[in-house]
Amino acid sequence: MSDSNKPLNRQDKKRLEHQRGQGSGKAYIPFVQVGEFSGSGESIRVKSSTVGRLHHFHSGIELAAFLIFDRSSNITDIREQFPLPLSSSLTICEQLGIKHPQVKGELYIVSTDLLLDCKNNTSIAIAVKPAAQLNDKRVLEKLQIEKAYWENKGVKWYIFTEYERPSELKMNLQWLRSFLDADTSIDYEISDEDVQTLISRLSNSSTKKITKRCGELDDEYHLSPGFHIEIFRFAIANNFIKADLRQQYINWKVEDLIFVGHEKNKGALGHVS
């Protein structure tokens, strides 16, 4: 039986019926969501500053790639787990002479990890994979399908591995993780007033390292150790304070920060429901 005559996996069929992978901006729904699949146990839901919706990621590498692009001023939309039309992937497989992704005779939808829209009206498609998987024949065949599809669309396509994620970024993500995750950030009672007060207190200490200055503020205001750095982590995770995530947070100085402030983000501060 040729691949074109094989049935589509029931779960993928339901996802298509529920219009997964359609729309853009806040209306977009990723084809696979957190809780439906996780190959590494690193699933996380994160709210973006670019789109203003919850994004679903299934690995630390996907999260790292997302945060890099979410903080780029050239990106206007980010769609994760973007599904390729089954008819297109079947045709490409036939042209390449490879089997379509399937399990026990059921076809699976091929998806691209990140699809980025840019300000110049172009798009970029990105496959996010651990480098070790690039030696796997089936993974390479799936990547061939993606590459062929996006090239036919005139869209640039790239592979993002952990080698594009500097160790400094990995360290920062571990430090920020509980504040980035919409499912765990609800444990922190931090208000917009807390963030604005912190920004005001930091503004006169430009040459000091942020970790040291936050400790000094705890002592100055007779607050428990870690009070100000916790607010700072929240503010960084929610883009109320911006810093270069490719530099270890322990080396950040106040002068390295960009204070976005409350007004620009009005209504965005707080927990995601």
Please give the domain boundaries of the chain with CATH numbers for all domains: 3-164 (3.40.1350.10), 191-259 (1.10.10.10)
Rounded Cα–Cα distance for residues 227 and 194 (Å): 10
Query: Which of the two residues, 260 and 70, has the higher pLDDT score?
Result: 70
Q: Are 66 and 127 in contact (CB under 8 A)?
A: no
Rounded Cα–Cα distance for residues 217 and 210 (Å): 10
Q: What is the pLDDT of residues 30-82, one digit of tens each?
A: 999 988 865 555 788 998 888 989 999 998 899 999 988 988 889 999 999 99
pLDDT at 246 over 70: yes
Q: Are 96 and 148 in contact (CB under 8 A)?
A: yes
**Per-residue pLDDT at 270:** 33
Residue owning tokens 């679903």: 56
Q: Are 43 and 35 in contact (CB under 8 A)?
A: yes
Q: What is the pLDDT of residues 192-235, one digit of tens each?
A: 899 999 999 998 777 889 999 999 999 999 999 999 999 999 99
pLDDT band at 264 (very low <50, low <70, confident <90, very high): very low
Q: What is the pLDDT of residues 123-169, one digit of tens each?
A: 999 999 999 999 999 999 999 999 999 999 999 999 999 888 778 88
Q: Which residues contact 67 (CB under 8 A, 6 or more apart)?
A: 46, 169, 173, 180, 245
Rounded Cα–Cα distance for residues 211 and 226 (Å): 9
Rounded Cα–Cα distance for residues 64 and 172 (Å): 10
pLDDT band at 272 (very low <50, low <70, confident <90, very high): very low
Residue owning tokens 């059921």: 106
